[in-house]
Every structure is written in C-alpha cells, then in structure tokens.
A and B are shown apart, each in its own frame.
Chain A
Amino acid sequence: MSTPSKPETRSISVDYLARVEGEGNLKVRVRDGQVEIVEFGIFEPPRFYEAFLRGRRFGDAPDITARICGICPIAYQMSSAHAMESIFGVKMDGALRELRRLIYCGEWIESHVLHAFMLHLPDFLGYQSAIHMAADHRDAVEKALRLKKVGNDIVTVLGGREIHPINVKVGGWYKVPTKKELEALVPNLEWALDAATWAVEFTGGLPFPEIEQDFEYVSVSHPDEYPFNEGRLVSNKGIDVPVSGWNDVFEEVHVARSNALQSKVRERGSYHCGPLARYSLNFEKLSPRVQQAASKAGLGPTCFNPFKSIVVRCLETLHSVEEALRLIDAYEAPARPDVPFEVKAGEGHGASEAPRGMLYHRYRLDEEGYILDAQICPPTAQSQMSIEDDLRRVLETSLDLPDDELQWRLEQTVRNYDPCISCATHFLKVEIDRG
C-alpha cells in the first residue's frame, strides 16, 4: 500500500498563447502525478465563413476564403479553385498547373521560414522572441529573413502581393508572367539553395526531447510529385481515397471537455497533418539533395518526433527552392492565362497542402454558379486532437520540470504544429468560461 499523502495538484494555464497565428490558450491540471485535464482552447472570435459564402458566386471563393488566413492565403485559393474546377470539369495542365506549384513553393518558403525561425526557434534557444534572439544570433535571423523574402518574392511576382494575392482565379490565372519576370527570381533562389541547406543543418543540430508518437499521418499523395495541390488522401494506417472521400473517412466530433469540434478518422481517432506527415508519407519523392540533407541532419525516411517538425519545415523549404528553380527553368508562357469552361450546378471537392497541413474544401453550386453550401476543414482543426495527445504525452514525461519550464515546454509542443488559429476558428468551438 502506498503511504497516504496530501494530494498535490499542479495547474498551468496560459491565457494567451504567443508566437502562433491567432488567439489560443492552454490549460492543464495534474493531480498526484496523474494528468487530469489537457485543453488546447481557442478564443479567436468566430467569423462564420461557411455561412456567408452561401449566396456568393463561385468566383468569389478564392478571394474570400484567402481572408481566413493571412499566412497561408495561397492554400485557400488553391483548395477553393480546385474544388470549383472539379465541378466545371476543368483540369489544370501544362504551364498553368506548373505556375500553381510555383506560387505554392513561394508560400511554403515564406510560411515555413517565418515559423521555423521567427516563431519556433526561440523556444529551442530560450528566447522570448526572434527579436530578442537577434541580439545574440543576428546573422542567423538576418539570413532567415532574407530566405523568407525569397518566398514572398515568388508570391509577389505571380500574385501581385505577398498577403492576399490577387492573380489566382477559378480556371487558372488573370495574367501569366513572362519567362523574363520569373528568371529575375533565379539569382536569389540560387542563394536560397545554400541558405536552406544551412537552415536544415542549423535546426538539425538543436536539442530535441526524445519523444515519438504513434501518429496516423495523413497527407495528399501524388504518384510522381511531393504533394502540393493534386492527389489522393492517404495515411500510414490504410486510408487511400480520392479527395471527394474526405467525409467518408473523417468526421467532425464534439468533445465536451474541450468544447471543440475536432476532426478524427472515423471509428479510429486522432490524426496528424502537416510537414511531418507529408515527409513521412512521401519521402521517396524528395530529390537526392533534400534526402541527403535529411540524412545529414539525422533524419530517416520517416520521423515521429513532433519537435523535429522544425527540421522538416527547413527540408521542405529546401525542396521548395529546388522545385521553384526547376519550374522556372522549364517554364514557357502559355498562350492564354486560363481554361474556358461553362458554369453548371454540382458539388466539388478540393484538397491541397497548406504549409501547416492538408486543407479540404467542399462546395455545392446552383446552375448559375451561386454557392448553396460550403465546408472548409483547415489543417489546425484536423490536427487538434493530435496536439492534445502530444500535450498529454509531454506532460507525463516532463513532470519533473518546474512550472515555468513545464509551461514553456507545453507551449513549444503546441507550436510544433505551427497552428493557425484564425483558420481553425470558424470551425472549432470557442471555449467559453461561463464561471
């Protein structure tokens, strides 16, 4: 029999989680060494996108849904455009398709470098922010900012501006760039090859907690390419369906304790979207250069340590730089910027890989092309159960840490996911303390 002792309760709550996109909080309670409560809460105000999209025309979806997220507007433009195009029977081919891959390269570079260096790295090195970190690591921060800018420059050339670009439309583009305009990006991209390789080495050398999770990884998968905006939905535990099958394999459930709608695999449970999932499911589609950089950084063809997502973000940055150079080299401006189509009624699905994970859109249109029904499942909503699984695991293995260090470790655990709370919020329950 154990000696009766005074129950010890430790509660940690972070009211406003920093260095994430949007407003979230964190609450845990441990009693007598047993984890009682783990809640990753969202207090971002709801904006009701699916509701007000009804009655808008199909062509509004890329511009309107981009405003769900200022960091990954391209992802919203891609998933919504592809969903609409699937209704009209439009297929993106040739240079128009390649340009969509190119603008996605830009978004992955800017978003990944922003997160890895400005938001996540300070956790590993013990700084409150990248600006504090810059006092001791000025060169690294400056190099990262320049690398981030290379990504933003791609988005700006193709899209007009880095945040909420204006050039993507259902059926293609409003205007395609000349070869010369794209070639102007090449010198900086060549610099970025070295910079991204450095970023992989730098982050690969960080200290990582020894934690592996039995994730069900889910990503878009294409037979020949590392995934961006085309392919089936697959997992390492047997899922393999077309994008239109999203609602057949996943469901949105209400967990009373956290007041949150979360996505789960039907009759199974949590799953994990994002760089680690893409990497572990699609490693063989990465170039020899990226695979080599991975192995030098100590990564195998799969990775189940959520803290190492920072290394994988840098590997995907390297991949995006290399892919951008290849796309620009092969580019020949197409005769017209878009594919003609006829508007018709129907239901369409689109899934693409936002920097932080798979983003699914579904729309139903009337015969004039007005939206009757919309469903948007952002990556952070899909990974939310997985985030709470990790918090529980980290908590159980880090109970010896003092409160302030434990709190920081838990914050870092959430930031492993690069969560985008503005995205998630029109979908997740907002936690309301009515006490």
Chain B
Amino acid sequence: MSKPKLGVFKFASCDGCQLSLLDCEDELLTVAGAVQIAFFPEASREYMEGPYDLTLVEGSITTPHDLEAIKEIRAQSKFLITIGACATAGGIQALRNWKDVTEFTRYVYAHPEYISTLETSTPVADHVAVDFELRGCPINKWQLIEVVNAFLHGRKPNIPSYSVCVECKRRGTACVMVAQGIPCLGPVTQAGCGALCPAYNRGCYGCFGPMESPNVLALGEWWRSMGVDDRALVNALRGFNAYAEPFREASDVYAQQA
C-alpha cells in the first residue's frame, strides 16, 4: 500500500506552526517515514502534484490570490487540517479587520499601489470546508503529532476543548488571578499549551483561542474589578485570536464603552 501523500501549505503567518513539524527532532524521521512528503516547501524543493491525502494549512487568508489558492488546495485535498491561530482565527494580522487597511498600507509601504491585499484577515474555514482545526499560537507539537497519528489510523483526534484552568489545576499551579491578582484569560481560553504562562507568574494571553462556550463578559467584569480599564481589556481580547467570535464580540462590547 502506498503511503499517504502529505501537503503543507502556508498563507499569511510566521512559519512557526509548520516549523513545529521540524521541531519534532526525535520523531521527524519516523513521521517522514509514515507519509510521503509531497509538498512542503519549507523543508523540500521537490514539489509533487496533488491530490493530497492529508493537507496541513498554516496562515490566514489576506489576499485575492490566496482566496483563490485555498479553494484549489481544498479541491486537491482529501483531508484538510488548519494549524495555528492564523489559519483557525485570522491571527494577529486580523487586527486590520477593525481598521482601514488602506491607511495601514500607506503607513507601512512607500508605494501602496503595489500592494494587493484584502480588507480583512480571515480563517481558512470562512472560505472552504475544514476537516479539523488545531489551535494555538504556536500549535503544540504533541497535539500536531496526535492529529497526524489520528488521521493515519482513521480515528478522531483526542484534543480537549476545556479551559486552561484545568491544565493549571493538573499542573498544580496556584491560580494567578486569585493568589497574585494578575489578570488572566485562562478561564475563557482553550487548553493545549500546558498552562505555561501562569506557571511563569503571568496571566494567560489567549494563544489557543476561546474554549468551548466561554463566558467572556463575566471574566471581563472580574478584570474590571481588579482595576483593568476597558482600553486594556480590548487589547487583551484582541490578541492572536482576536477575530475568533467570542473574543471578537466581547472586545466590541468593551470598545464601545472605552
């Protein structure tokens, strides 16, 4: 039986999520042995035509060109997984969605007429059907291996959708909000990082995006009671997953009040 063909594609992003694959130092050659790497420009100059059995997509959709490209990639892919906050929520570059992108272009580039860009940065799932979304900025490489492994064995990936709080409890980290008075997005953020920030005495800043059914406004009231002003609240919610619906909607509420 021939090995499944793997394609790795990139849109607007930092490359960190596909780098996670190369950061699997101990597992890389094993993973590479289980699949046929058909398209992975960051790692190989050999490009094979589709269709691909498993496609990993990093990055958000921000240009007219990419809007067409993602449709073609979908058509060439049996199973398409988006990886990372850019692909699943639009990334930090989605901050343009609240601003005038023409002004942005003029601010950064001397000749804006050469720049072809969309008004918005949006997740891949806004444009094509996605079979699984792996969250994180960056993704957790063990979760990536789990997802690839689940695909290879035809089972559902075991990726929890509960909050970072669960991971803090499991890790034995005292709650930084309660014990140290540090504002934390952990109660509304999906687990996956291993509750890193609280373990380093800082509040979670939401890299893994909203958990399943979060109550963001209730957490916002806690932050306010700790003395956080609405401008800071808006900035906190408008981070790497700013355009994920629960964060977006709550940030709009506070932006109106700020």
8 Å CB contact of A70 from B19, B37, B121: B19
Task: Determine how close the nearest CB of chain B comes to the CB of A389; give it in whole angstroms.
Answer: 22
The digit string for B240-251, where 1 denotes a CB below 8 A from any CB of A, is 100000000000
Judge whether B26 and A69 touch: CB under 8 Å. Answer: no
Per the 8 Å Cβ criterion, residues 360-393 of A in contact with B are: none
**Contact flags B65-96 to A (C-beta < 8 A → 1, else 0):** 11000000000000000000000000111011
B197 touches A52 (CB 8 A): no
The answer to the question of A322 belonging to the interface, with a C-beta cut-off of 8 Å to chain B, is no
CB < 8 Å: which of A23, A63, A130, A163 contacts B205? A63
Given A118-B43, A131-B43, are A51 and B107 also a contact pair (CB < 8 Å)? yes
Stretch at the interface among B44-52, B127-135, B163-171: B44-52
* Size of the chain A interface, CB-CB below 8 angstroms: 73
The digit string for B204-230, where 1 denotes a CB below 8 A from any CB of A, is: 010100000000000000000000000
B27 CB to nearest chain A CB (Å)? 10
Inter-chain contacts of A132 with B (CB < 8 A): 44, 46
A162 partner residues in chain B, CB cutoff 8 A: 23
Chain A residues with Cβ below 8 Å from B193 are: 161
- Are B45 and A57 neighbours in the complex by a CB distance under 8 Å? no
For residue A68, give the distance in angstroms from its CB to the closest CB of chain B. Answer: 6
With contacts A23-B10, A70-B19, A71-B19 taken as known, whether A430 is within 8 angstroms of B92 at the C-beta atoms is: no
Residues of B within 8 Å of A60, CB to CB, are 235
Interface 0/1 of B149-180, CB less than 8 Å to A? 00000000000000000000000000000000
Residues of chain A within 8 A of B240, CB atoms compared = 67
Pairwise interchain contact A163-B108, C-beta atoms closer than 8 A:
no
Task: Tell whether, in the assembled complex, residue B116 and residue A175 are in contact, meaning their CB atoms are under 8 Å apart.
Answer: no
The answer to whether B22 touches A114, judged by C-beta atoms less than 8 angstroms apart, is yes
Whole-angstrom distance between the Cβ of A263 and the nearest chain B Cβ? 13
With A68-B14, A152-B23 already in contact, the answer to whether A129 and B111 are too (CB < 8 A) is no
Contact A48 B25, CB 8 Å, known A129-B46, A164-B138, A422-B13 = no
List the A side residues contacting B114 at CB < 8 Å.
Answer: 259, 429-432
A319 within 8 A of B: no
Contact B45 A18 (CB under 8 A): yes
Which residues does chain B contribute within 8 Å of A145, judged by CB atoms? 25-26, 28-29
- Residue in A55, A114, A166, A429 whose beta carbon sits within 8 Å of that of B197 in the complex: A166
| A82 interface contact, C-beta 8 A | no
**Contact in complex: B23, A174 (CB < 8 Å):** no
| Residue in chain B with minimal CB distance to A175 | B200
Chain B 90-121: CB-based contact to A (< 8 A → 1; otherwise 0): 01110110010101110111110011110001
Of A71, A129, A164, A337, which one neighbours B43 at CB under 8 angstroms? A129
CB distance from B10 to the nearest CB of A (A): 7
Instruction: Indicate if B253 sits at the interface (CB-CB under 8 A).
Output: no
Do A67 and B201 have beta carbons less than 8 Å apart?
no
> Across the interface, do A148 and B105 meet the contact criterion of CB distance under 8 Å?
no
**Central interface residue in B45, B103, B107, B196, by most chain A CB within 10 Å:** B45
Return B197 CB to nearest CB of chain A, in Å.
5
Q: Chain B's nearest CB lies how many Å from the CB of A17?
A: 8
Please tell me if the beta carbons of B62 and A47 are within 8 angstroms of each other in the complex.
yes
Q: Shortest Cβ distance from A75 into chain B, in angstroms?
A: 12
Q: Assess the A166–B200 pair: CB atoms within 8 A.
A: yes
CB pair A52 B137 closer than 8 Å: no
Interface on B for A, CB 8 Å cutoff? Answer: 10-17, 19-20, 22-23, 25-26, 28-29, 32, 37, 40-47, 59, 62-63, 65-66, 91-93, 95-96, 99, 101, 103-105, 107-111, 114-117, 121, 137-138, 193, 196-197, 199-202, 205, 207, 232, 235, 240
A-B contact pairs, 15 of them (CB 8 A): A18-B44, A18-B46, A18-B47, A46-B62, A46-B109, A47-B92, A52-B99, A56-B235, A57-B232, A67-B137, A69-B16, A131-B37, A169-B202, A175-B201, A430-B115
A interface with B by C-beta (< 8 Å): 16-23, 43-52, 54-57, 60, 63-64, 67-71, 73, 110, 114, 118-119, 122, 128-132, 134, 138, 141-142, 145-146, 148-149, 152, 160-164, 166-167, 169, 174-175, 252, 254, 259, 261, 337, 411, 422, 426-427, 429-432
